[in-house]
Chain A
Amino acid sequence: MKKTIQRRLLTGALVLMTALVTKPAHAVNYQALVDADVKKFQGYFRKEFPDVKFEDYGDGVYALDEDARKQWKEMEEFPPYELDVEAGKALFNKPFANGKSLASCFPNGGAVRGNYPYFDEKRKQVVTLEMAINECRVANGEKPYPGFKGDLAKVSAYMAYISRGQKIDVKVKSAAAYKAYMKGKAFFYGKRGQLNMSCSGCHMEYAGRHLRAEIMSPALGHTTHFPVFRSKWGEIGTLHKRYEGCNDNIGAKPFEEQSEEYRDLEFFQTIMSNGLKFNGPAARK
Protein backbone atom coordinates (compact mmCIF):
# COMPACT_ATOMS: atom_id res chain seq x y z
CA MET A 1 0.00 0.00 0.00
CA LYS A 2 2.67 2.41 1.06
CA LYS A 3 4.72 1.39 -1.90
CA THR A 4 1.87 2.00 -4.31
CA ILE A 5 1.38 5.45 -2.96
CA GLN A 6 5.04 6.09 -3.27
CA ARG A 7 5.04 4.85 -6.82
CA ARG A 8 1.99 6.94 -7.60
CA LEU A 9 3.62 9.96 -6.10
CA LEU A 10 6.71 9.28 -8.11
CA THR A 11 4.81 8.95 -11.35
CA GLY A 12 2.92 12.07 -10.43
CA ALA A 13 6.13 13.89 -9.81
CA LEU A 14 7.56 12.66 -13.08
CA VAL A 15 4.50 13.79 -14.99
CA LEU A 16 4.72 17.13 -13.27
CA MET A 17 8.40 17.42 -14.05
CA THR A 18 7.97 16.61 -17.70
CA ALA A 19 5.21 19.17 -17.78
CA LEU A 20 7.51 21.73 -16.22
CA VAL A 21 10.32 20.92 -18.57
CA THR A 22 8.32 20.82 -21.78
CA LYS A 23 5.82 23.54 -21.07
CA PRO A 24 8.16 26.53 -21.14
CA ALA A 25 9.12 25.68 -24.70
CA HIS A 26 5.58 26.55 -25.72
CA ALA A 27 5.05 29.36 -23.30
CA VAL A 28 8.22 31.38 -23.48
CA ASN A 29 7.42 34.91 -22.47
CA TYR A 30 9.07 36.68 -25.40
CA GLN A 31 7.84 40.04 -24.22
CA ALA A 32 9.67 39.57 -20.93
CA LEU A 33 12.91 38.73 -22.75
CA VAL A 34 12.53 41.82 -24.88
CA ASP A 35 11.60 44.02 -21.94
CA ALA A 36 14.80 42.96 -20.19
CA ASP A 37 16.77 44.05 -23.27
CA VAL A 38 14.95 47.38 -23.34
CA LYS A 39 15.76 47.97 -19.69
CA LYS A 40 19.43 47.24 -20.26
CA PHE A 41 19.58 49.34 -23.41
CA GLN A 42 17.89 52.40 -21.92
CA GLY A 43 19.86 51.95 -18.70
CA TYR A 44 23.08 52.22 -20.68
CA PHE A 45 22.13 55.70 -21.87
CA ARG A 46 20.80 56.76 -18.47
CA LYS A 47 24.15 55.89 -16.97
CA GLU A 48 26.18 57.40 -19.81
CA PHE A 49 24.22 60.67 -19.90
CA PRO A 50 22.70 61.13 -16.44
CA ASP A 51 21.68 64.73 -17.18
CA VAL A 52 19.67 63.97 -20.32
CA LYS A 53 15.92 63.68 -19.78
CA PHE A 54 14.38 60.49 -21.15
CA GLU A 55 11.88 62.29 -23.40
CA ASP A 56 14.66 64.36 -24.99
CA TYR A 57 16.07 61.26 -26.69
CA GLY A 58 13.40 61.79 -29.31
CA ASP A 59 15.46 64.75 -30.50
CA GLY A 60 18.46 62.73 -31.64
CA VAL A 61 21.87 64.28 -31.29
CA TYR A 62 20.28 67.49 -30.03
CA ALA A 63 19.50 65.73 -26.77
CA LEU A 64 23.23 65.57 -26.08
CA ASP A 65 24.67 68.82 -27.33
CA GLU A 66 23.46 72.18 -26.05
CA ASP A 67 24.95 74.34 -28.84
CA ALA A 68 23.68 72.15 -31.63
CA ARG A 69 20.30 72.08 -29.89
CA LYS A 70 20.02 75.88 -29.96
CA GLN A 71 20.71 76.00 -33.69
CA TRP A 72 18.24 73.23 -34.29
CA LYS A 73 15.51 75.03 -32.32
CA GLU A 74 15.99 78.00 -34.62
CA MET A 75 15.73 75.72 -37.65
CA GLU A 76 12.49 74.28 -36.25
CA GLU A 77 10.90 77.76 -36.14
CA PHE A 78 10.43 77.52 -39.90
CA PRO A 79 10.41 73.76 -40.28
CA PRO A 80 11.91 72.71 -43.60
CA TYR A 81 9.50 69.76 -43.75
CA GLU A 82 6.38 71.93 -43.65
CA LEU A 83 5.78 71.81 -47.42
CA ASP A 84 6.31 68.05 -47.41
CA VAL A 85 3.64 67.60 -44.76
CA GLU A 86 1.26 69.65 -46.91
CA ALA A 87 2.12 67.63 -50.01
CA GLY A 88 1.71 64.42 -48.02
CA LYS A 89 -1.74 65.47 -46.91
CA ALA A 90 -2.81 66.10 -50.49
CA LEU A 91 -1.44 62.71 -51.59
CA PHE A 92 -3.15 61.02 -48.68
CA ASN A 93 -6.54 62.30 -49.76
CA LYS A 94 -6.06 62.17 -53.53
CA PRO A 95 -8.41 59.65 -55.15
CA PHE A 96 -6.93 56.59 -56.84
CA ALA A 97 -8.19 55.57 -60.27
CA ASN A 98 -10.79 53.39 -58.48
CA GLY A 99 -12.11 56.34 -56.50
CA LYS A 100 -10.68 55.24 -53.17
CA SER A 101 -7.62 56.82 -51.57
CA LEU A 102 -4.91 56.18 -48.99
CA ALA A 103 -7.38 57.65 -46.53
CA SER A 104 -9.72 54.69 -47.11
CA CYS A 105 -7.02 52.24 -45.91
CA PHE A 106 -6.25 53.83 -42.56
CA PRO A 107 -8.47 54.45 -39.54
CA ASN A 108 -8.38 57.57 -37.38
CA GLY A 109 -7.84 59.87 -40.37
CA GLY A 110 -4.40 58.36 -40.82
CA ALA A 111 -3.16 59.32 -37.35
CA VAL A 112 -1.83 55.80 -36.83
CA ARG A 113 1.94 56.26 -36.56
CA GLY A 114 1.79 54.71 -33.09
CA ASN A 115 0.57 51.38 -34.55
CA TYR A 116 3.76 50.85 -36.58
CA PRO A 117 5.97 48.96 -36.87
CA TYR A 118 4.20 45.81 -35.75
CA PHE A 119 4.69 42.11 -36.30
CA ASP A 120 2.00 40.62 -38.51
CA GLU A 121 1.45 37.16 -37.01
CA LYS A 122 -0.39 35.91 -40.10
CA ARG A 123 2.20 36.91 -42.64
CA LYS A 124 5.06 36.35 -40.19
CA GLN A 125 6.81 39.62 -40.92
CA VAL A 126 7.31 43.13 -39.69
CA VAL A 127 4.97 45.71 -41.18
CA THR A 128 6.19 49.30 -41.18
CA LEU A 129 4.15 52.42 -41.89
CA GLU A 130 5.82 52.91 -45.26
CA MET A 131 5.10 49.31 -46.18
CA ALA A 132 1.43 49.73 -45.23
CA ILE A 133 1.21 52.88 -47.36
CA ASN A 134 2.52 51.07 -50.41
CA GLU A 135 0.42 47.97 -49.78
CA CYS A 136 -2.66 50.17 -49.73
CA ARG A 137 -1.71 51.58 -53.10
CA VAL A 138 -1.05 48.17 -54.61
CA ALA A 139 -4.29 46.75 -53.18
CA ASN A 140 -6.10 49.53 -55.04
CA GLY A 141 -4.41 48.92 -58.36
CA GLU A 142 -1.84 51.70 -58.04
CA LYS A 143 1.93 51.41 -58.34
CA PRO A 144 3.89 51.49 -55.06
CA TYR A 145 5.84 54.69 -54.39
CA PRO A 146 9.47 53.97 -55.30
CA GLY A 147 12.59 54.42 -53.21
CA PHE A 148 13.69 56.10 -50.02
CA LYS A 149 12.23 59.57 -50.55
CA GLY A 150 9.70 61.57 -52.52
CA ASP A 151 5.99 60.78 -52.20
CA LEU A 152 6.50 57.84 -49.82
CA ALA A 153 8.40 60.04 -47.37
CA LYS A 154 5.88 62.86 -47.79
CA VAL A 155 2.84 60.72 -47.00
CA SER A 156 4.72 59.19 -44.08
CA ALA A 157 5.62 62.71 -42.89
CA TYR A 158 1.97 63.77 -42.95
CA MET A 159 0.85 60.68 -41.06
CA ALA A 160 3.64 61.15 -38.50
CA TYR A 161 2.73 64.80 -38.11
CA ILE A 162 -0.92 64.17 -37.29
CA SER A 163 0.14 61.36 -34.92
CA ARG A 164 2.63 63.39 -32.89
CA GLY A 165 2.61 62.44 -29.24
CA GLN A 166 1.53 58.83 -29.74
CA LYS A 167 3.46 56.51 -27.49
CA ILE A 168 5.92 53.91 -28.72
CA ASP A 169 4.89 50.53 -27.38
CA VAL A 170 5.89 47.80 -29.81
CA LYS A 171 5.15 44.25 -28.68
CA VAL A 172 6.83 40.91 -29.31
CA LYS A 173 4.30 38.17 -28.70
CA SER A 174 5.43 35.09 -30.59
CA ALA A 175 8.43 33.02 -31.54
CA ALA A 176 8.25 34.40 -35.07
CA ALA A 177 8.15 37.99 -33.84
CA TYR A 178 11.06 37.27 -31.54
CA LYS A 179 13.00 35.85 -34.46
CA ALA A 180 12.53 39.06 -36.45
CA TYR A 181 13.51 41.05 -33.37
CA MET A 182 16.67 38.97 -32.94
CA LYS A 183 17.58 39.51 -36.59
CA GLY A 184 17.29 43.26 -36.10
CA LYS A 185 19.31 43.02 -32.93
CA ALA A 186 22.10 41.09 -34.67
CA PHE A 187 22.13 43.70 -37.43
CA PHE A 188 22.45 46.49 -34.87
CA TYR A 189 25.34 44.98 -32.94
CA GLY A 190 27.17 43.24 -35.78
CA LYS A 191 30.31 44.67 -37.32
CA ARG A 192 30.14 44.93 -41.08
CA GLY A 193 31.62 46.45 -44.17
CA GLN A 194 35.13 47.33 -45.23
CA LEU A 195 35.49 49.57 -42.18
CA ASN A 196 34.27 46.78 -39.88
CA MET A 197 31.91 48.91 -37.82
CA SER A 198 28.60 48.33 -36.07
CA CYS A 199 25.62 50.61 -35.49
CA SER A 200 26.15 50.14 -31.76
CA GLY A 201 29.80 51.19 -32.02
CA CYS A 202 28.96 54.62 -33.37
CA HIS A 203 25.54 55.14 -31.76
CA MET A 204 26.10 53.58 -28.32
CA GLU A 205 29.77 53.27 -27.43
CA TYR A 206 30.72 56.57 -29.04
CA ALA A 207 27.39 58.41 -28.80
CA GLY A 208 28.05 62.08 -28.07
CA ARG A 209 31.59 61.92 -29.45
CA HIS A 210 32.80 63.69 -32.54
CA LEU A 211 33.34 61.82 -35.76
CA ARG A 212 35.18 64.61 -37.53
CA ALA A 213 32.68 67.47 -37.20
CA GLU A 214 29.63 65.25 -36.64
CA ILE A 215 28.37 64.51 -33.17
CA MET A 216 27.11 60.97 -32.85
CA SER A 217 23.43 60.63 -31.99
CA PRO A 218 22.34 58.11 -29.36
CA ALA A 219 20.60 55.01 -30.72
CA LEU A 220 17.89 55.50 -28.12
CA GLY A 221 15.27 57.56 -29.95
CA HIS A 222 16.63 56.82 -33.43
CA THR A 223 13.25 55.93 -34.91
CA THR A 224 10.92 58.37 -33.13
CA HIS A 225 11.14 61.28 -35.54
CA PHE A 226 11.33 59.93 -39.07
CA PRO A 227 10.92 60.80 -41.85
CA VAL A 228 13.55 63.50 -41.65
CA PHE A 229 14.26 66.57 -43.75
CA ARG A 230 18.01 66.53 -43.86
CA SER A 231 19.88 69.62 -45.04
CA LYS A 232 22.54 67.41 -46.57
CA TRP A 233 19.92 65.59 -48.65
CA GLY A 234 18.10 68.82 -49.39
CA GLU A 235 14.85 66.88 -49.08
CA ILE A 236 12.83 64.60 -46.88
CA GLY A 237 13.79 60.92 -46.62
CA THR A 238 12.75 57.78 -44.79
CA LEU A 239 14.42 55.97 -41.93
CA HIS A 240 15.60 53.33 -44.38
CA LYS A 241 17.34 56.02 -46.40
CA ARG A 242 19.32 56.89 -43.27
CA TYR A 243 20.10 53.21 -42.74
CA GLU A 244 21.32 53.03 -46.32
CA GLY A 245 23.57 56.05 -45.76
CA CYS A 246 25.08 54.66 -42.57
CA ASN A 247 25.72 51.31 -44.27
CA ASP A 248 27.26 53.02 -47.26
CA ASN A 249 29.57 55.18 -45.13
CA ILE A 250 31.31 52.15 -43.70
CA GLY A 251 31.59 50.31 -47.01
CA ALA A 252 28.83 47.87 -46.13
CA LYS A 253 26.18 46.55 -48.46
CA PRO A 254 23.08 48.73 -48.30
CA PHE A 255 19.64 47.15 -48.56
CA GLU A 256 16.47 48.31 -50.31
CA GLU A 257 13.74 50.48 -48.87
CA GLN A 258 11.43 48.11 -47.00
CA SER A 259 13.83 45.18 -47.33
CA GLU A 260 13.31 42.55 -44.66
CA GLU A 261 16.70 43.45 -43.17
CA TYR A 262 15.78 47.09 -42.64
CA ARG A 263 12.27 46.30 -41.42
CA ASP A 264 13.70 43.96 -38.78
CA LEU A 265 16.25 46.61 -37.83
CA GLU A 266 13.49 49.20 -37.53
CA PHE A 267 11.49 46.74 -35.42
CA PHE A 268 14.42 46.25 -33.05
CA GLN A 269 15.34 49.93 -32.89
CA THR A 270 11.77 51.04 -32.28
CA ILE A 271 11.37 48.51 -29.48
CA MET A 272 14.53 49.88 -27.86
CA SER A 273 12.75 53.26 -27.84
CA ASN A 274 9.58 51.90 -26.21
CA GLY A 275 8.22 54.51 -23.82
CA LEU A 276 9.25 57.49 -25.95
CA LYS A 277 6.76 59.34 -28.15
CA PHE A 278 6.57 59.59 -31.91
CA ASN A 279 7.50 63.16 -32.83
CA GLY A 280 8.17 63.12 -36.55
CA PRO A 281 8.82 64.51 -38.99
CA ALA A 282 12.01 66.27 -37.95
CA ALA A 283 14.78 68.46 -39.31
CA ARG A 284 18.40 67.37 -39.23
CA LYS A 285 21.50 68.94 -40.63
Chain B
Amino acid sequence: MKSSGIIAAAAILMLPSLGVAADQSAAPKAAPAVVSPAAKGKAVANDRNKGNCLACHMMDDGEFPGNFGPPLSQMKERYPDRAVLRKQIWDATVKNPTSIMPPFGKHGIMSESELDQLLDYLYTL
Protein backbone atom coordinates (compact mmCIF):
# COMPACT_ATOMS: atom_id res chain seq x y z
CA MET B 1 0.00 0.00 0.00
CA LYS B 2 3.01 2.28 0.40
CA SER B 3 3.65 4.54 -2.53
CA SER B 4 6.86 6.42 -3.01
CA GLY B 5 6.89 10.13 -2.29
CA ILE B 6 7.55 10.69 -5.96
CA ILE B 7 4.32 9.07 -6.98
CA ALA B 8 2.36 10.94 -4.36
CA ALA B 9 3.93 14.23 -5.40
CA ALA B 10 3.28 13.50 -9.03
CA ALA B 11 -0.29 12.63 -8.21
CA ILE B 12 -0.77 16.04 -6.65
CA LEU B 13 0.79 17.75 -9.62
CA MET B 14 -1.13 15.88 -12.25
CA LEU B 15 -4.46 15.50 -10.54
CA PRO B 16 -5.67 12.86 -12.88
CA SER B 17 -9.07 11.30 -12.84
CA LEU B 18 -9.13 8.05 -14.74
CA GLY B 19 -5.80 8.54 -16.45
CA VAL B 20 -5.84 12.25 -17.12
CA ALA B 21 -2.10 12.00 -16.55
CA ALA B 22 -1.81 9.97 -19.71
CA ASP B 23 -1.92 13.18 -21.72
CA GLN B 24 1.77 13.84 -21.51
CA SER B 25 2.67 10.45 -22.90
CA ALA B 26 -0.17 10.24 -25.41
CA ALA B 27 0.88 10.31 -29.01
CA PRO B 28 -0.08 13.25 -31.22
CA LYS B 29 -3.58 13.03 -32.68
CA ALA B 30 -2.59 13.42 -36.32
CA ALA B 31 0.00 10.73 -36.92
CA PRO B 32 2.92 11.49 -39.26
CA ALA B 33 2.70 10.05 -42.75
CA VAL B 34 4.64 6.79 -42.28
CA VAL B 35 4.02 5.10 -38.97
CA SER B 36 4.30 1.41 -38.24
CA PRO B 37 1.19 -0.40 -37.00
CA ALA B 38 3.01 -1.03 -33.71
CA ALA B 39 3.62 2.70 -33.25
CA LYS B 40 -0.03 3.38 -33.98
CA GLY B 41 -0.86 0.65 -31.48
CA LYS B 42 1.20 2.42 -28.83
CA ALA B 43 -0.80 5.56 -29.44
CA VAL B 44 -4.03 3.57 -29.02
CA ALA B 45 -2.70 2.02 -25.80
CA ASN B 46 -1.80 5.40 -24.34
CA ASP B 47 -4.82 7.39 -25.53
CA ARG B 48 -6.88 7.89 -22.40
CA ASN B 49 -10.09 7.70 -24.37
CA LYS B 50 -9.11 4.36 -25.89
CA GLY B 51 -6.70 1.90 -24.25
CA ASN B 52 -5.47 3.91 -21.30
CA CYS B 53 -3.79 0.66 -20.31
CA LEU B 54 -1.31 2.50 -18.09
CA ALA B 55 -4.14 3.41 -15.76
CA CYS B 56 -4.04 -0.19 -14.59
CA HIS B 57 -0.91 -1.88 -15.98
CA MET B 58 2.81 -1.30 -15.90
CA MET B 59 3.77 -1.20 -19.53
CA ASP B 60 6.77 -0.27 -21.65
CA ASP B 61 8.22 3.19 -20.80
CA GLY B 62 4.93 4.60 -19.50
CA GLU B 63 5.30 6.78 -16.41
CA PHE B 64 3.29 6.38 -13.20
CA PRO B 65 1.53 3.18 -14.19
CA GLY B 66 -1.34 1.84 -12.12
CA ASN B 67 -1.31 -1.59 -10.51
CA PHE B 68 -4.84 -2.96 -10.83
CA GLY B 69 -3.59 -5.61 -13.27
CA PRO B 70 -0.26 -7.42 -13.82
CA PRO B 71 2.62 -5.79 -15.77
CA LEU B 72 2.28 -6.24 -19.52
CA SER B 73 5.55 -7.71 -20.72
CA GLN B 74 6.90 -10.68 -22.66
CA MET B 75 3.65 -10.84 -24.50
CA LYS B 76 4.94 -13.06 -27.33
CA GLU B 77 6.16 -15.66 -24.88
CA ARG B 78 3.03 -15.55 -22.79
CA TYR B 79 0.56 -15.31 -25.66
CA PRO B 80 1.84 -17.37 -28.59
CA ASP B 81 -1.75 -17.47 -29.85
CA ARG B 82 -2.75 -13.99 -30.98
CA ALA B 83 -6.43 -14.85 -30.83
CA VAL B 84 -6.21 -15.53 -27.09
CA LEU B 85 -4.67 -12.13 -26.40
CA ARG B 86 -7.19 -10.46 -28.70
CA LYS B 87 -10.04 -12.03 -26.81
CA GLN B 88 -8.64 -10.85 -23.44
CA ILE B 89 -8.69 -7.27 -24.63
CA TRP B 90 -11.91 -7.51 -26.65
CA ASP B 91 -13.78 -8.68 -23.53
CA ALA B 92 -11.87 -9.50 -20.34
CA THR B 93 -15.05 -10.75 -18.66
CA VAL B 94 -15.00 -13.91 -20.79
CA LYS B 95 -12.06 -15.19 -18.76
CA ASN B 96 -12.95 -13.48 -15.49
CA PRO B 97 -16.67 -12.61 -15.27
CA THR B 98 -16.07 -10.04 -12.53
CA SER B 99 -13.05 -8.44 -14.21
CA ILE B 100 -12.75 -4.70 -13.79
CA MET B 101 -10.84 -4.45 -17.07
CA PRO B 102 -13.03 -2.66 -19.64
CA PRO B 103 -14.34 -4.74 -22.57
CA PHE B 104 -12.53 -2.68 -25.19
CA GLY B 105 -13.89 -4.44 -28.28
CA LYS B 106 -17.30 -5.46 -27.04
CA HIS B 107 -18.15 -1.93 -25.84
CA GLY B 108 -16.63 -0.22 -28.87
CA ILE B 109 -14.03 1.65 -26.81
CA MET B 110 -11.65 1.04 -29.72
CA SER B 111 -12.29 -0.12 -33.26
CA GLU B 112 -11.34 -3.56 -34.54
CA SER B 113 -8.46 -2.10 -36.58
CA GLU B 114 -7.21 -0.15 -33.58
CA LEU B 115 -7.32 -3.35 -31.59
CA ASP B 116 -5.17 -5.04 -34.24
CA GLN B 117 -2.66 -2.20 -34.11
CA LEU B 118 -2.65 -2.49 -30.31
CA LEU B 119 -1.86 -6.20 -30.60
CA ASP B 120 1.07 -5.42 -32.93
CA TYR B 121 2.35 -3.07 -30.28
CA LEU B 122 1.81 -5.51 -27.39
CA TYR B 123 3.91 -8.08 -29.25
CA THR B 124 6.87 -5.70 -29.14
CA LEU B 125 6.78 -5.76 -25.33
Q: Please indicate the chain A residues that have their CB under 8 angstroms from the CB of B109 in the complex.
A: 194-195
Q: Is the CB of A208 within 8 A of B1?
A: yes
CB of A11 closer than 8 Å to a CB of B:
no
Binds B, one of A64-72, A122-130, A150-158, A169-177: A64-72
CB of A56 closer than 8 Å to a CB of B:
no
Q: Which of B12, B18, B66 meets A210, CB within 8 Å?
A: B66
Q: Please indicate the chain B residues that have their CB under 8 angstroms from the CB of A285 in the complex.
A: 11-12, 15
Q: Smallest Cβ distance from B6 to chain A, in angstroms?
A: 9
Task: Tally B residues with Cβ within 8 Å of A.
Answer: 35
CB of A29 closer than 8 Å to a CB of B:
no
**A196-B93, A214-B11 known; A209 vs B18 contact (CB < 8 Å):** no
Q: Smallest Cβ distance from A45 to chain B, in angstroms?
A: 12
Bound-complex Cα distance A107 to B56 (A):
48
Bound-complex Cα distance A195 to B18 (A):
11
Q: Smallest Cβ distance from B21 to chain A, in angstroms?
A: 5
Q: Which of A194, A210, A232 meets B15, CB within 8 Å?
A: A232
CB of A104 closer than 8 Å to a CB of B:
no
Q: Is the CB of A213 within 8 A of B107?
A: no
Bound-complex Cα distance A202 to B67 (A):
12
**A195-B107, A210-B3, A212-B64 known; A202 vs B11 contact (CB < 8 Å):** no
Q: Is the CB of A197 within 8 A of B100?
A: yes
Bound-complex Cα distance A245 to B9 (A):
22
Q: Is the CB of B102 within 8 A of A211?
A: no
CB of B103 closer than 8 Å to a CB of A:
yes
Bound-complex Cα distance A71 to B6 (A):
12
Name the interface size band of chain A. Answer: 20 to 34
Bound-complex Cα distance A213 to B17 (A):
9
Q: Please indicate the chain A residues that have their CB under 8 angstroms from the CB of B3 in the complex.
A: 65, 67-68, 210, 215
Q: Mark contacts of A245-266 with chain B using CB atoms, 8 A cut-off: 1 yes-contact digit, 0 otherwise.
A: 1000110000000000000000
Q: Please indicate the chain B residues that have their CB under 8 angstroms from the CB of A64 in the complex.
A: 1
Q: Please indicate the chain A residues that have their CB under 8 angstroms from the CB of B100 in the complex.
A: 197-198, 201-202, 205-206
Residue of B nearest to A208 (CB): B1
Q: Mark contacts of B87-112 with chain A using CB atoms, 8 A cut-off: 1 yes-contact digit, 0 otherwise.
A: 00000010000001011000111000
CB proximity to A under 8 Å, residues B54-96: 54-56, 64-68, 93
Q: Please indicate the chain A residues that have their CB under 8 angstroms from the CB of B29 in the complex.
A: none
Q: Is the CB of A213 within 8 A of B64?
A: yes
CB of A49 closer than 8 Å to a CB of B:
yes
Bound-complex Cα distance A75 to B14 (A):
17
Q: Which of B1, B9, B11 meets A49, CB within 8 Å?
A: B1
Residue of B nearest to A61 (CB): B11
Selected A-B contacts with CB under 8 Å, 8 pairs: A49-B1, A71-B9, A195-B18, A196-B107, A210-B3, A211-B18, A212-B54, A285-B15
What are the 9 A-B residue pairs with the smallest beta carbon separation, nearest first?
A213-B11, A249-B18, A195-B102, A232-B15, A213-B64, A201-B100, A67-B8, A210-B66, A212-B55
The chain B residues found within 8 Å of chain A, CB to CB, are 1-5, 7-12, 14-22, 54-56, 64-68, 93, 100, 102-103, 107-109
